[in-house]
């Protein structure tokens, strides 16, 4: 292949000749007369640069031209065949920039890298969706809980790889969805944009989605799905602040909730018609009472009286219940295998439930061969909280309330932690501010004594083991 001093003038002469379809002769080296380096459009030929080794411009029979680099991989030795990689089409990049790219590639080759192999690997590489799917199937599914897998699959389906038709898994991805991008080509800017857009309305979910992407990349690099030195595009993204939400039921709220549960399983809860033209056709108020599924009411009572997690109650089987010892032996909770203390009120709830299937909280498939646990309490919980005027109360807040009553009653964090099944005492520390503070009790005693001296009335007695409320 001919070698020339490839500068702007020479490149222009070649491209003009290709455009016009006429032959041109170039100098082999600067300062020498025209000699033998002739280009006839329509033939495939590469003109190499005399200064940047391996760099050149290749003209195809179609007269299109591209900057290329020819090199020999270091790992292959002197006998290894040369490889040729296209840098860019002429016209899309300046000659100077193309030469710089060629120099950078040659530096990578000297360090043992193979630009052509890496480019081919990138073309063969998985998309982000495929990478995360492999991570879920090969790591999360066998090592994490089904609920965790379902949560991650939700992030993938709803935010990373949303489809044009949500009901059709074979439907094309929405335009711009990250899931369709090659995993190896995903940038930090791509992930940051998704995080930023999601964070406008769902900051917690945005953080969790980025964490999933970061975990999938770490797994992929470790298991060969990505180059080991590939930069994780989600690793350095700053997460949105997550202020923990603490909601504890007050005494009067407990009373409202208790009365609502009583009505739910006896007289039924009144419902109001939705505003609109059809509202006038709604039944009369005395006929607008709906009975709530007794098993759903029982589930809520068990959550209140045990401080258990929702899945621990919904997945509880009769075979795991020991009423004599007041225990339920959970084989697989969030913190692993553990006993659940069945308090006296909880035992009363269990005693009033009929055994209609495998699970304590019977589902629609109760008694069937392929019986499954109840999935959730969304609808009954919405009715209950609306009637009790506790619309901001989440089911998990019942667990917080159970803990708050215990800690506020002076039972101590370790005891409450054991009741809740916390594997780490640090988890229970978030309730520490609810403990009765001996310093506060002492301050109250002093202030009340001073107040009594000022008013001439006897001071109220503040017991030092606890504080009346």
pLDDT in tens, 178-191: 999 989 889 999 99
* Average pLDDT of the residues in 134-159: 91
Which among 288, 261, 292 has a CA at the least distance from the CA of 272?
288
* Average pLDDT of the residues in 240-252: 80
Encode burial over 123-132: b for 16+ CB neighbours within 10 A, e otherwise.
eebbbbbbbb
Q: What secondary structure letter does DSSP report for 324?
A: T
Per domain, the residue ranges of the chain are 3-124, 128-222, 251-273+283-434, 436-469
pLDDT digits (tens, 9 = 90+) for 394-434: 998 888 888 777 766 556 556 656 666 655 545 555 555 54
pLDDT at 273: 57
pLDDT over threshold 70, residue 29: no
Taking the model in full, what pTM does it have? Answer: 0.54
CATH architecture of residue range(s) 128-222: Orthogonal Bundle (1.10)
What separation in angstroms does the CA of 84 have from each of 6, 46, 55, 115, 119?
A: 18, 11, 10, 10, 12
Higher pLDDT residue, 400 or 121? 400
The answer to which of 104-108, 201-205, 245-249 has the lowest mean pLDDT is 245-249
pLDDT over threshold 50, residue 136: yes
* Average pLDDT of the residues in 93-116: 92
Share of the chain above pLDDT 90, in %: 44
pLDDT at 262: 92
Backbone phi, psi, residue 459, to 5°: -75, 145
Whether domain 3-124 has CATH 3.30.160.390: yes
Fold of 251-273+283-434: hpI Integrase; Chain A (1.10.443)
* pLDDT, the chain, mean: 82
Per the document, the length of the chain is 469
| pLDDT band of 444, cuts 50, 70, 90 | low
Higher pLDDT residue, 382 or 414? 382
What separation in angstroms does the CA of 238 have from each of 120, 199, 259?
A: 32, 12, 46
Place of tokens 């089911």: 395
pLDDT digits (tens, 9 = 90+) for 247-289: 888 889 989 999 999 999 888 887 665 555 555 555 565 666 7
Token digits for 336?
Answer: 């692993």
pLDDT over threshold 90, residue 306: no
Strand ranges in 213-299 using DSSP code E only, listed in sequence order: 269-270, 289-290
The answer to which of 199-203, 348-352, 374-378, 454-458 has the lowest mean pLDDT is 454-458
Higher pLDDT residue, 119 or 344? 344
pLDDT at 465: 47
pLDDT over threshold 90, residue 294: yes
| pLDDT band of 467, cuts 50, 70, 90 | very low
pLDDT at 316: 94
Higher pLDDT residue, 117 or 274? 117
pLDDT at 75: 74
pLDDT at 429: 52
Q: What secondary structure letter does DSSP report for 460?
A: P
pLDDT at 146: 84
């Amino acid at each position: 292949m001919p070698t020339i001093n490839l500068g702007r003038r020479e490149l222009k002469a070649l491209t003009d000749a290709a455009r016009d379809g006429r032959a041109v002769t170039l100098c082999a080296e600067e300062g020498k007369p025209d000699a033998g380096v002739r280009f006839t459009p329509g033939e495939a030929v590469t003109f190499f640069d005399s200064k940047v080794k391996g760099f050149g411009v290749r003209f195809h029979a179609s007269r299109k031209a591209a900057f290329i680099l020819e090199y020999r991989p270091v790992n292959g030795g002197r006998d290894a065949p040369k490889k040729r990689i296209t840098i860019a089409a002429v016209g899309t990049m300046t000659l100077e920039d193309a030469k710089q790219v060629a120099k950078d590639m040659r530096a990578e080759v000297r360090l043992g890298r193979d630009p052509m192999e890496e480019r081919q690997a990138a073309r063969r590489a998985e998309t982000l969706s495929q990478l995360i799917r492999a991570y879920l199937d090969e790591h999360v599914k066998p090592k994490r809980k089904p609920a965790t897998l379902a949560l991650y699959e939700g992030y993938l389906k709803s935010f990373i790889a949303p489809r044009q038709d949500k009901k059709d898994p074979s439907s094309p991805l929405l335009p711009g969805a990250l899931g369709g991008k090659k995993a190896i080509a995903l940038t930090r800017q791509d992930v940051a944009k998704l995080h930023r857009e999601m964070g406008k309305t769902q900051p917690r979910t945005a953080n969790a989605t980025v964490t999933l992407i970061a975990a999938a990349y770490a797994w992929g690099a470790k298991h060969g799905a990505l180059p080991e030195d590939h930069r994780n595009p989600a690793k350095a993204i700053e997460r949105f602040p997550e202020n923990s939400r603490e909601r504890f039921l007050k005494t009067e709220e407990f009373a409202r909730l208790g009365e609502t549960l009583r009505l739910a399983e006896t007289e039924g809860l009144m419902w109001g018609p939705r505003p609109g033209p059809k509202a006038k056709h709604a039944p009369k108020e005395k006929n607008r009472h709906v009975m709530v599924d007794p098993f759903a009411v029982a589930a809520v009572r068990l959550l209140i009286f045990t401080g258990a997690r929702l899945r621990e109650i919904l997945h509880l089987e009769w075979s795991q219940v020991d009423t004599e010892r007041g225990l339920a032996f959970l084989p697989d909770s969030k913190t692993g295998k553990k006993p659940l203390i069945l308090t006296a009120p909880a035992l009363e709830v269990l005693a009033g439930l009929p055994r209609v299937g495998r699970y304590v909280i019977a589902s629609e498939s109760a008694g069937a061969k392929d019986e499954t646990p109840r999935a959730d309490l969304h609808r009954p919980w919405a009715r209950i909280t609306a009637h009790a005027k506790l619309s901001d109360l989440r089911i998990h807040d019942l667990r917080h309330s159970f803990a708050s009553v215990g800690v506020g009653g002076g039972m101590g964090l370790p005891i409450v932690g054991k009741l809740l099944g916390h594997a780490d005492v640090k988890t229970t520390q978030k309730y520490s501010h609810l403990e009765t503070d001996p310093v506060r009790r002492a301050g109250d005693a002093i202030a009340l004594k001073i107040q009594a001296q000022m008013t001439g009335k006897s001071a109220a007695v503040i017991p030092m083991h606890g504080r009346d409320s």
